[in-house]
Amino acid sequence: MPITAKRLGQNVRMIGNATWLVRLDTNSTGQGPRLAVKDCIDVAGTVTTVGSRAVAAGRTEALVDAPVVENARNQGARIVGKTNLVELCRHADGYNQWTGTPLNPLDQERITGGSSSGSAVAVALDETDVAYGTDTGGSVRVPAACCGIAGLKTTTGRLPTHGVFEFSRTLDTVGPLAREVAGLVTGMRLMEPGFEPAVGGSEPVTAARLRFDRIESAVDEAVDRAVAAAGLRVTDVTIPDWETWIDAANDIMMAEGYAAHRYLMTRPDLLEQRHIDGIEKGGAMTAPHIVACRRVQNAARLQLRALLERYDVLVLPTLLTEPPRVGEPAWTTYLTVPVNLAGLPAVSLPVPRPDRALPASIQVVGGWYEEERLLAVAEAVEAGCR
């Protein structure tokens, strides 16, 4: 019998087989790593449903792979299936009323995070070596944090989003999820042939340790231990404008989401009510307001650029608390969405939390187009936690 939880006035189906929307025969598709693809990314011969009845009703099978899938297939990746997600990629909690909600492998009473929920669960259960996800406000890093795995949000514009269902044209990114940093490197190679992480230097890595009052103390402590174990040279930094950045990112996302999804409002009976509300909210955004949000975006980039000129990386948790329980209010993107606003790359990694069975998650943010260096730092953090 499904577990039912109340969330935003809706009943959420929780079913154990909701990780996958399509399973594929891999006998003749290559000898490389197993690859799962979030079902908002085109895989030739499958219907890209984006976890939505409204989208699926008007779709046919994709004729060609999205470039990031084509690159992987050309390198011998075995595409094992397409994974479940939050409808239209619009929320970071993992819930989907139509396709069901994957169960968190660490604790079935807690959310998987989203929107790349199925990709994170498939990796955590070792049903794939690498999974593709998308990250517009945290949708790779949040499920990675909730499920105790690693995830990489790439620099905006580094990887092509052709063949990827659009939510927010200027914030959408694709990125890999894996159990360890080595798997993220594999994922980047599949997406971008020839990718290689940088070789670590002899000088200590410097880090701006971002501090926020809202973070649960045990989460902060776990991140601090991980940073110390990795030998990073840390300086505490606060950013008073952080919540202003959150508001600007969310409003840009809503406005662009309206432009991308308004055609679906011809069949509102096929959409979750919260997504109808979100599309309508985006339609109410005025042009002057979005211009003001773009000015905030530019200011955020300048402020973060100044920090990254002084420090090699920025460090902060991925989530404010441990993964929320199903049905609890959750502000899952508080620590992630400003990174999307700035367009920076970021890695989320599990780190030990001695006071709890569930790990915490550290977020390491690098400079624009510096994934090679960022993953080298992430490998050092991961090694320090062993």
In the DSSP assignment, the letter for residue 60 is -
CATH class assigned to 1-386: alpha beta
Which residues are part of the catalytic machinery? Answer: 38, 115, 139
The domain ranges of the chain are 1-386
- Between CA 29 and CA 217 the distance in angstroms is 47
Q: Which helix (H) or strand (E) holds 14?
A: strand 10-14
CB neighbourhood size of 162 (10 A): 11
Q: What share of the chain is helix, strand, coil (3-state, %, to 5)?
A: 35, 20, 45
Query: pLDDT of the chain along its 386 residues, tens only?
Result: 222 222 222 333 444 469 999 999 776 567 899 999 999 999 999 999 999 999 999 899 999 999 999 999 999 999 999 999 999 999 999 999 999 999 999 999 999 999 999 999 999 999 999 999 999 999 999 999 999 999 999 999 999 999 999 999 999 999 999 999 999 999 999 999 999 999 877 789 999 999 999 999 999 999 999 999 999 999 999 999 999 999 999 999 999 999 999 999 999 999 999 999 999 999 999 999 999 999 999 999 999 999 999 999 999 999 999 999 999 988 999 999 999 999 999 999 999 988 777 899 999 999 999 999 999 999 999 999 98
